[in-house]
Amino acid sequence: MHPRRLCSLYRCFSTTKTRTKINFNAGPSQLSKNVLAQASQAILDYNNSGSSICELSHFNSEWKTLYNDTVKNTINFLNIPKSHKCFYMNGGGTHQFTTLFYNLCNKDSEVQVLVSGYWSQKAADELSKLCKVKIVNHASELKDDKKYSFTFYCENETVNGIEYKNGLSFKPKNHILVCDSCSILGGKHMDIGNYDVLFSSLSKNLGVSGSTLVILKKELLKDTSNKIPDVMNWREYYKLNGPTPSVFSIFFTLKNLKHMIKTGGLDYYDRINTIKSDLLYKYIDNSDGFYINTIDKKYRSRTNIVFTVKDSHELSKYFSDSCDLFGFIGTRHHFSDKSKGCRLSLYNSISIQDVEDIIDFMEKFKRFVLYKDLTTHYSNRFIKKTDSILVRKAEDNISELSSDEQIDMLANDIGRLNKL
């Protein structure tokens, strides 16, 4: 960014509140300060044991108590029905794409994948290394055929900002339904009973990376004749027979679940996440085309809000650079995005106040860019007139802007100049 541009931007936003950073990253996401404080204490000294949580042996009975407590709180927070079991497995969401094959298929199997964006495409790509994959691009094309071992879909496409708000209406009877809910589980009510398999990595609403929560219909935990490698085998993890677990990640999730339950549980997060995303979409839609989100309203994600600034790569980058300077981090879009726009992710620990703060910043940024455009336009038009001195004064003023009133005054000045 040109140093003069940066300098005037600083002055323009000098009234923007200085505060600790707000992290709008799509994952790892912002975490509750309260839970971070508990975790940092436990890293130094876990439960007054004189050793760190990171040193806790998984052969220790204390680990079993901690793990069972985590499972109990998971069931409670997510309302997991009795028909389903849950457990934590090492690795992230990508790991689960492969476990699906090992636990549900053989090399002759065929699976059906609803591709709605980056992550479901990635799942299809991973599965096609191991078995046949039928790709479907629209939910209405899904077939309830017993030739498929399962149907896979992604409830919330983190990269594309697309969400199936009420899940799928497709409920196959002849094969298994798998839901990737990495960036939405714990952020809204989901009827878990409707799915055979659901998974979510922990680096979003649930905690920190290292493990993935897997929820299965009980029947799927029955022993199979398949020879499944241990690191892929759901049953081994369920029975706590897997490799060394990611103790810290699971400990963090336990603290986070307790914190979220105390804060108001899923009812609370479902409600505030809707309020947060409604606020942001409303602001974007009323920005007169300055900020642009092109997703069909029916499918707009409540978690990941994607947009460009005036459909311009340069302005979107300018916006994200400016956000970084003012403590709003993680606003750049995913590297795979061709339009290279922006993305704001509103996971559970982003508050309504955080959203109001970014909207306030977005409005200031918008005014700054628009008035900068206006002064350039007017100075080009009036530069030959004797009054051009007035235009230059207006241009100088723009770098002195420090409040909304001053910005409005400048707009009036420019309006007056236009009539000269």
Binding site for ligand PMP (CB under 6 A): 27, 92-94, 119, 154, 158, 180, 182-183, 201, 203
Residues 6+ apart with CB under 8 A from 202: 88, 208, 209, 210, 211, 212, 213, 249, 252, 253
Q: Which CB sits closer to ligand PMP, 112 or 158?
A: 158
| Contact criterion met (CB below 8 Å) for 183 and 302 | no
Shortest distance in whole angstroms from residue 235 CB to ligand PMP:
21
Instruction: Give bridge partners of residue 90 from the DSSP assignment.
Output: 211
Instruction: Give bridge partners of residue 292 from the DSSP assignment.
Output: 308
Parallel/antiparallel/unpaired status of strands 156-157 and 162-163: antiparallel
Shortest distance in whole angstroms from residue 202 CB to ligand PMP:
8
Q: Which CB sits closer to ligand PMP, 95 or 392?
A: 95
Q: Which CB sits closer to ligand PMP, 27 or 242?
A: 27
Q: Which CB sits closer to ligand PMP, 183 or 375?
A: 183
Shortest distance in whole angstroms from residue 354 CB to ligand PMP:
20
What is the greatest pairwise CA distance in the chain? 90
Q: Which CB sits closer to ligand PMP, 13 or 93?
A: 93
Q: What are the residue ranges of helices labelled H in 105-155?
A: 118-127
Shortest distance in whole angstroms from residue 88 CB to ligand PMP:
13
> Which tokens sit at 311?
């459909």
Shortest distance in whole angstroms from residue 158 CB to ligand PMP:
3
Shortest distance in whole angstroms from residue 181 CB to ligand PMP:
8
Shortest distance in whole angstroms from residue 165 CB to ligand PMP:
15
User: How far is 231 from 223, CA to CA, in rounded Å?
Assistant: 16
Q: Which of 24, 22, 26 is nearest to 336 (CA)?
A: 26
User: What single-letter DSSP state applies at residue 383?
Assistant: T
Q: Which CB sits closer to ligand PMP, 249 or 375?
A: 249
Residue in the shown chain whose Cβ atom is closest to ligand PMP: 92
Strands (E), 315-354: 328-329, 342-345
Q: Which CB sits closer to ligand PMP, 92 or 242?
A: 92
Three-state DSSP string of 323-354? HHHCCEECCECCCCCCCCCEEEECCCCCCHHH
Q: Which CB sits closer to ligand PMP, 28 or 327?
A: 28
How many other CB atoms are found less than 10 A from the CB of residue 359?
17
Residues 6+ apart with CB under 8 A from 406: 397, 400
Shortest distance in whole angstroms from residue 92 CB to ligand PMP:
2
